[in-house]
């Protein structure tokens, strides 16, 4: 009788944990039952009931258990202490970290648009206000790309020609940029070889005799923002596409 009562009580507790009430009354309490989510981390609470979507995706780092060895003298034998070792494994909880988003707004993805600019096909027009780059294709159309532009104080406008192109360009930040960033506690290299970590990304188109370029980026989530020191940045896949379409000598207009 005692065992049967304990089992019944256990079933009732589990029913309440899983449904919030006994099955006979569940429909009375919830018109739409909230989702039941089981934790993927066995060191965390095994059952979590969540309502709504998380605001940011959370990724758990691997957490290694910590082994603690405790020594305890339990008795004396022939004048010598006998030590018993007790090994205790303490499980470390995984620490959540926020993952930086990599997607950009859909309007900044490449697409063909109506664009009657009056300029010759092959002309590149960059609208820094809307954060769009247009490659004029003719017949009142252009291929439009999303870009990142100069942050406040670094805006500029003008017309230049593409004087040089480079694949996986080397980055040599100017001395004034290095000094400016050093005041913020960020120390830039004198020179960085091309590669995925390079801020210039996969391709660069150099504009006139200026220090400005249309280039890729290692931070694609910044496309559509005013974040640069005057250069026009694009997603790597987009600047590769533009690089193949725009020759040296092409006209670039920044407005």
Assigned domain for 59 exists:
no
In a domain, 57, yes or no: no
Catalytic residue among 25, 119, 160, 215: 215
Q: One of 25, 119, 160, 231 is an active-site residue; which one?
A: 231
Q: Are residues 116 and 138 in the same domain?
A: yes
Q: Is 240 part of any domain?
A: yes
Same domain, 46 and 117: no
How many residues belong to the chain?
A: 255
Confidence of residue 3 (pLDDT cuts 50, 70, 90): very low
Residues 151 and 207 in one domain: yes
Which of the listed residues 40, 75, 97 is the one where a domain comes to its end? 97
Q: CA torsion, points 50, 56, 62, 66, in degrees to nearest 10?
A: -70
- Please tell me whether residues 76 and 39 are part of one structural domain: no
Q: Which of 89-109 are b and which e, b meaning 16 or more Cβ less than 10 Å from the residue's Cβ?
A: eeeeebeeeeeeeeebeeebe
Domain span holding position 11: 2-52
Q: 58 lies in a domain?
A: no
Interval 88-137: pLDDT, tens: 545 444 444 545 555 789 999 999 999 999 999 999 999 999 999 999 99
Shared domain for 250 and 162, answered yes or no, is yes
User: What are the tens digits of pLDDT across the range 170-195?
Assistant: 999 889 999 999 998 989 899 999 99
Indicate whether 118 and 217 sit together in one domain. yes
Rounded Cα distance, 218 and 199, in Å: 5
At 70, list the tokens: 């405790």
The pLDDT assigned to 103 comes to: 72
Q: Are residues 91 and 114 in the same domain?
A: no
Over the chain, what is the mean pLDDT? 77
Query: Is 21 a residue whose pLDDT tops 80?
Result: no
Residue that is last in its domain, among 97, 120, 151: 97
Shared domain check, 93 and 120: no
Strand partners of residue 205: 165, 214
25 is catalytic: no
């Amino acid at each position: 009788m005692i065992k049967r009562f304990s089992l019944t009580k256990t079933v009732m507790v589990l029913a309440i944990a899983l449904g919030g009430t006994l099955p006979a009354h569940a429909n009375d309490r919830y018109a739409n039952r909230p989702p039941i989510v089981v934790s993927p981390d066995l060191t965390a609470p095994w059952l979590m009931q969540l309502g709504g979507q998380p605001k940011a995706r959370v990724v758990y780092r691997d957490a290694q258990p910590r082994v603690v060895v405790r020594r305890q003298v339990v008795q004396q034998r022939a004048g010598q202490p006998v030590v018993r070792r007790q090994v205790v494994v303490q499980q470390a909880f995984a620490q959540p970290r926020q993952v930086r988003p990599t997607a950009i707004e859909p309007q900044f993805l490449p697409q063909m648009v109506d664009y009657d600019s009056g300029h010759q096909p092959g002309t590149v027009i960059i609208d820094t206000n809307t954060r769009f780059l247009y490659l004029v294709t003719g017949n009142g159309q252009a291929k439009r790309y999303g870009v990142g532009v100069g942050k406040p104080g670094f805006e500029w406008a003008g017309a230049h020609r593409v004087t040089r192109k480079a694949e996986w360009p080397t980055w040599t930040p100017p001395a004034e940029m290095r000094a400016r960033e050093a005041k913020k506690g960020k120390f830039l290299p004198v020179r960085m070889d091309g590669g995925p970590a390079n801020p210039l990304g996969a391709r660069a188109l150099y504009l006139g005799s200026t220090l400005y370029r249309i280039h890729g980026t290692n931070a694609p989530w910044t496309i559509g923002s005013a974040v640069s020191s005057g250069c026009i940045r694009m997603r790597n896949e987009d600047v590769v596409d533009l690089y193949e379409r725009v020759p040296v000598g092409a006209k670039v207009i920044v407005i």
